[in-house]
Amino acid sequence: MAGFRSPPRARCFVEKFRRIRQAIRVKLKNLLALLLGAALLAGCKKAETAAAPKSIDDILPKQAQPKLQTMKIYLGAETLDTELALTPKEEMTGMMYRTNIQDTDSMLFVLQAPQRASFWMYHCPESSSCPYITPDGVIQEIHHLEKNDTNAVLAASDNIQFVLETSDGWFARHNVNTGMVIRTERGSLTDTFLHR
């Protein structure tokens, strides 16, 4: 007896069905490969944008700040009409970008708490003199800060709450030394700034 043979129509249908299934498998494989490739590319793009950290120049101010509120301060026989850097932004900007600093120009930085102060001269085109001052107003240290120097000048003491920035050499020219007490027109630095 001869083996069973399917009619030609049935064979044709089975062959077409096999081809359709094979085409669907191929298309699915291609689709999966395409989706996987797109996911990898999307992941790479996200990694590129996330990996670009901000530089210090992105954070720092781009120009000098306008003249700040002033107050008279007394250093022995000397008087300075001093700008007050009281907010974090005013403190961060300080005398950046200022040129032609006169003997009468000064800025007092009031720090949040006693600390080991650290100041630098990034984007400061003129050198300055800065005493680091204790909470009770005593000049603890006097430092020369070199123009455009990105190296911070760290205080030797961790009890600094005020820093006074003046023109370079001001303290030597006016015989103002460490151990001297600074006062304001309202009294001591402590009474003026710390007992609000």
At 119-155, the pLDDT tens digits run 989 889 999 999 999 999 999 999 999 999 999 999 9
Mean pLDDT to the nearest integer, 38-64:
65
- Percent of the chain at pLDDT > 70 equals 70
Among 114, 120, 126, 122, residue whose Cα is nearest residue 189: 114
At 172-187, the pLDDT tens digits run 999 999 999 999 999 9
At 152-172, the pLDDT tens digits run 999 999 999 999 999 999 999
Residue 5 has pLDDT above 60, yes or no: no
Distance CA 113, CA 159 (A): 9
Predicted pLDDT of residue 65:
84
- With tokens 């100041």, the residue in question is 119
* Residue 52 vs residue 75, higher pLDDT: 75
Q: How far is CA 150 from the centre of its chain?
A: 13
Confidence of residue 106 (pLDDT cuts 50, 70, 90): very high
Do residues 81 and 107 touch, judged by C-beta distance below 8 A?
no
Token digits of residue 47: 């990694």
Distance CA 48, CA 44 (A): 6
Predicted pLDDT of residue 6:
52
Mean pLDDT to the nearest integer, 7-27:
53
Tell me what the pLDDT averaged over the chain comes to.
Answer: 83
* Residue 60 vs residue 168, higher pLDDT: 168
Residue 3 has pLDDT above 90, yes or no: no
HEC string for the chain: CCCCCCCHHHHHHHHHHHHHHHHHHHHHHHHHHHHHHHHHHHHHHHHHHHCCCCCHHHHCCCCCCCCCCEEEEEECCEEEEEEEECCHHHHHHCCCCCCCCCCCCEEEEEEEEEECCEECCCCCCCCEEEEEECCCCEEEEEEEECCCCCCCEECCCCCEEEEEEEECCHHHHCCCCCCCEEEECCEEHHHHHHCC
- Which of 24-28, 48-52, 67-71 shows the lowest mean pLDDT across its residues? 24-28
Predicted pLDDT of residue 64:
80
Query: Strands 128-133 and 160-167, how do they pair?
Result: antiparallel
